[in-house]
A and B are shown apart, each in its own frame.
Chain A
Amino acid sequence: MKTKAFIKKYTMVIALCVVFILFAVLTGGRLLYPQNLSNLLLQNAYVLVMACGMLLCILTGGNIDLSVGSTVCLIGAIAAQLLAMGMNSILVILLCLVLSVIIGVWQGFWIGNIHIPPFICTLAGMFLFRGLGRAILGSKTIAINNKTFLNIFASYINVPGLDGGEKKWSAFVVGIIIAVLLLVNTARSRAQKAKKGYKQIPAASEFGKIIAIDVLLLYYTWKLTNYKGIPVMALWVLAVVLIYAFITSKTAFGRYFYAVGGNEKATRLSGINTERVYFLAYTSMSLLAGLSGLLMAARIGSVNGDTGNSFEMDAIGSCFIGGASAYGGSGTVPGIMVGAILLGVINQGMSIIGLDNNWQYVVKGAVLLVAVIFDVVSNHKTGKAG
């Protein structure tokens, strides 16, 4: 019974481990090369970022945002053009983020206040923004050469003195610090709970979890130490993920997204402004899509009309693989991170093996379907009202 519950709770984590080991073997260990592990994060940065925003949309009732891939293209195109015109890079970044918010307000207004079905509204956005992006690019590929811009998003952290040599020690130092902080923090919160006499999760399982995370963290930062150190992009991703994890799990504001997805009428009668919830879900989504546009532009170093193509599918897929309910009302940031990484590992693994692009799609589709089937079936078995 206990192991069953454990397996159920951590299905996707277990699946991730299995897939990871599978590809590690299939690639003859090449997946574990420091460079590949570092790239795993960089190549999926946009998915991780956008999945956070997509989660909020999906929470409100399985609503998705189809326009994010196009928003990536549009914002990337604007950034590239402005930089090419010689504008200050900080100004460009701020301007682009403001523009993404405006795009979000545009969509959020129609969806939240005028009650246009999200699917249709964002489908329209998908065409609109893609078209605008291509028009701005003039059907060309525009390269980005602005050093500051590239540094802000796509460089590596370099601490003088620590990172002079082959090994970038700063990465490992950061890993150790975070690992210790996690441990200390858990111990402290347990002590506090004990003092107030609140119920506790058994120490073994709570510390077991933290130690597992710590070990992975140390392993990963050690790999980064061996390859250029901590990428700045990781910090951006981390910031977004932490903020969204915090909002969804700890704040009243985050709770409202779950409530709307669970029962919109009851939520409205509880005095919660449900229109605003929709509005903000889509506004935040576009902001993150815009940020992803900048990350993408910097990482690739250029923008063209196909930039961001089908990114929406990766973001949506990660959420559903990561356990967000297609009916809304349930899903967590850690969950969808696992989903996103799972997709990422599959992508990366298949690329290293050299599997044909077409087959990569087939595999991704199959994984998505299996994950969702599993979710639906297992929830029915426990009699969860849906």
Chain B
Amino acid sequence: MADLILEMKNITKEFPGVKALDNVNLKVERGEIHALVGENGAGKSTLMNVLSGTYPFGSYTGDIVYNGKVCQFKTLHDSETEGIVIIHQELALIPELSIGENMFLGNERKGRLGIDWDRTYHEAETHMKQVGLKEEATTLIKDIGTGKQQLVEIAKALSKQVKLLILDEPTSSLNEEDARMLLDLLLQFKKEGMTSIIISHKLNEIAYVADKITVIRDGATIETIDNSDRNINEERIIQGMVGRELSDRYPSREHKISDRIGMEVKNWTVHHPLYTEKKVVDGVSFNVHRGEIVGFSGLQGAGRTELAMSIFGRSYGTDISGEVLIDGVPKTLKTAREAIEAGLAYVTEDRKGNGLILTESIAKNITMSRLEKVCSKGIIDVDKENAVAEDYREKLRTKTPSVQQNVGNLSGGNQQKVLLSKWMFADPEVLILDEPTRGIDVGAKYEIYCIMNDLVAQGKSVVMISSEMPELLGMCDRIYVMNEGKMIAEMPAAEATQEKIMAAILQSDK
């Protein structure tokens, strides 16, 4: 008999109009790393929220058996006292507070009079050492990259005496190096006896780290695959997830690149909005032809997002200089509106912060950047708006009961699809995609790649910023590499390899 730390039995959870979980079963053995995989909206996050008490006992049916006894968690705090800690899909750190303060938020180290800061920072540093985070505990969260922030989350979990660690897509916003480091950390914790549950759409990671893989589809458990010998075939997982075989990861496309340049940027320099002497983007030049997909590779903090946002109507930075030509015509794009009108669209990587209005419906979000297209004389034609939204829902296979659903109620991946719909509706000539497949399942990724191919087939230009090198190699015609605000390399995708890109980055660091 296996030593189960956790058994979830017949969990059913309904939201108004959606049955998110339907009799789900999950068994996790002590000391293993258990992966949860499934398409967007399959119910993975919901299941973990049930486990952690985010959705309190009573709002779902079924039993949670933890360490042999039935638990009824009413709050996050209840589950944390039992040693279950969840790290959510979206990081929950407060940018303006220090690493130490964040780690002990709600769990303060108290002295006789208020907080014992010495102890706080001392303990913070011990846990930071455990996760290999080399920073001062007094550094503010906003001053460190996402990779390190993720480590802070884990250190925070350690400070809570975690026994069962749940990570909901921990690597989705990390580059490969940081992601690998995090996974190795999990393996090390495993040796020390900790149990983890990890949700991820990156199947290579799952194959690398997981002992068992449970597949969830449409709110039901499909199967649990054993991977203790670490030689599972990724195709095998995909088959379980989507219920069919997916032969190619990247759709093929005829490369019909026009001579006409869709967008050209010359000598673009951007200064940091607060520390104005710091150059975030430094003399960058690049171009993208019509009918071409151009990729931007680089490490976190290379300045790719900043470059894109500053071009898109100066939405980031100060003291911006340089030239933008769209279709050969020089443009001064001073506001987002001007950029949109010039045929530019920027799909943000931060969909909750910069992209979507979570409290509004899918339909309203989609039409927002080009509301005039469903208006006549300033009056919104709601029927037309809904028809448009319905159209995109079908095209991108967004999983939702209706386009009137609030975006906040969608799963992460489906929110991403709404964001894409929004900018496709703006009908741009040049589409800049910033981490477009973050948090998206394999099937949906394929669909997004198809959409990109469609766009370039129509003679549009696509710029893709991505931290996933295989995706850049698989999709792009040309790849630019950035590091620390500078453009350091440019290569045709046909000649590029992951090693070449990494080598370029390392060289420029010297």
A residues apposed to B, CB below 8 Å: 193, 196, 198, 250-253, 255, 258-259, 262-263, 265-273, 329-330, 382-386
Contact = CB atoms under 8 A, between A and B. Distances in A.
A253 B355 CA distance: 20
Contacts of B354: 265-266, 269
A384 B408 contact: yes
Contacts of A266: 353-357, 368
Contacts of B408: 384-385
A200 to B, nearest CB: 11
Interface in B321-352: 335-337, 339-341, 346, 348
Given A252-B378, A383-B15, A259 B360 contact: yes
B239 interface: no
Given A198-B383, A263-B357, A255 B406 contact: no
Interface residues of B, number: 36
A258 B341 CA distance: 23
Nearest to B339: A271
A270 to B, nearest CB: 4
Contacts of B372: 252
Given A271-B339, A271-B340, A384-B406, 19 more contacts: A198-B386, A251-B379, A252-B371, A252-B372, A252-B379, A253-B378, A259-B368, A262-B358, A265-B354, A266-B356, A267-B368, A269-B312, A270-B336, A271-B313, A271-B335, A272-B336, A329-B357, A329-B359, A385-B409
A255 B380 contact: yes
Given A196-B383, A250-B379, A258-B360, A269 B315 contact: yes
B224 interface: no
B465 to A, nearest CB: 16
Contact of B359 (A250, A269, A272, A386): A386
A381 to B, nearest CB: 10
B47 to A, nearest CB: 16
B30 interface: no
B364 interface: yes
A361 to B, nearest CB: 33
Interface of B: 15-16, 312-313, 315, 335-337, 339-341, 346, 348, 353-360, 364, 368-369, 371-372, 375, 378-380, 383, 386, 406, 408-409, 422
Contacts of A267: 357, 368
Nearest to A386: B359
Contacts of B375: 251-252
Between A255, A267, A273, the greatest number of chain B beta carbons within 10 A of the residue's beta carbon is seen for A255
A253 B16 CA distance: 31
Contacts of B16: 382-383
Contacts of B406: 384-385
Given A330-B359, A384-B359, A252 B380 contact: yes
B133 to A, nearest CB: 29
11 contacts: A193-B383, A250-B380, A255-B380, A268-B315, A269-B312, A270-B336, A271-B341, A382-B16, A383-B15, A384-B359, A385-B358
Contacts of A272: 336-337, 368
Nearest to A330: B359
B369 A270 contact: yes
Given A252-B378, A271-B336, A384-B408, A259 B357 contact: yes
Nearest to A247: B378
Nearest to B353: A265
A329 B365 CA distance: 13
Nearest to B374: A252
Q: Which of B312, B336, B422 has the most CB of A within 10 A?
A: B336
B315 A383 contact: no
A274 B15 CA distance: 34
Contacts of B353: 263, 265-266
A266 B336 CA distance: 11
Given A383-B409, A384-B406, A273 B355 contact: no
A69 to B, nearest CB: 30
A329 B357 CA distance: 9
A9 to B, nearest CB: 13
Contacts of A198: 383, 386
Q: Which 4 A-B pairs give the minimum distances between C-beta atoms?
A: A385-B408, A262-B357, A271-B337, A270-B369
A267 B341 CA distance: 16
Contact of A255 (B336, B358, B371): B371
- Residue from the set A251, A269, A384 with the largest chain B CB neighbour count within 10 Å: A269
Contacts of B346: 269
Nearest to A268: B336
Contacts of A250: 379-380
A329 B336 CA distance: 21
Nearest to A381: B59
A262 B359 contact: yes
Nearest to B375: A252
B383 A262 contact: no
A384 B372 CA distance: 28
B361 to A, nearest CB: 10
A271 B369 contact: yes
Given A271-B340, A385-B409, A255 B379 contact: no
A269 B360 contact: no
Contacts of B368: 255, 259, 266-267, 270, 272
A329 B386 CA distance: 20
B170 to A, nearest CB: 22
A267 B356 CA distance: 8
A185 to B, nearest CB: 16
A266 to B, nearest CB: 5
A252 B377 CA distance: 9
B287 to A, nearest CB: 24
A351 B300 CA distance: 66
A382 B405 CA distance: 12
A244 to B, nearest CB: 15
A210 B151 CA distance: 58
A10 B28 CA distance: 46
A1 B356 CA distance: 31
Contacts of A268: 315, 336
A196 B369 CA distance: 26
B359 A385 contact: yes
Contacts of A270: 336, 340, 368-369, 422
Contact of B335 (A196, A258, A273, A329): A273
Contacts of B359: 262-263, 329-330, 384-386
A331 to B, nearest CB: 12
B360 A329 contact: yes
Nearest to A264: B357
A330 B408 CA distance: 14
Contacts of A251: 375, 378-380
Nearest to A254: B380
Given A193-B383, A251-B379, A269-B354, A262 B336 contact: no
Nearest to B377: A251
Contacts of A259: 357, 360, 364, 368
Contacts of A383: 15-16, 409
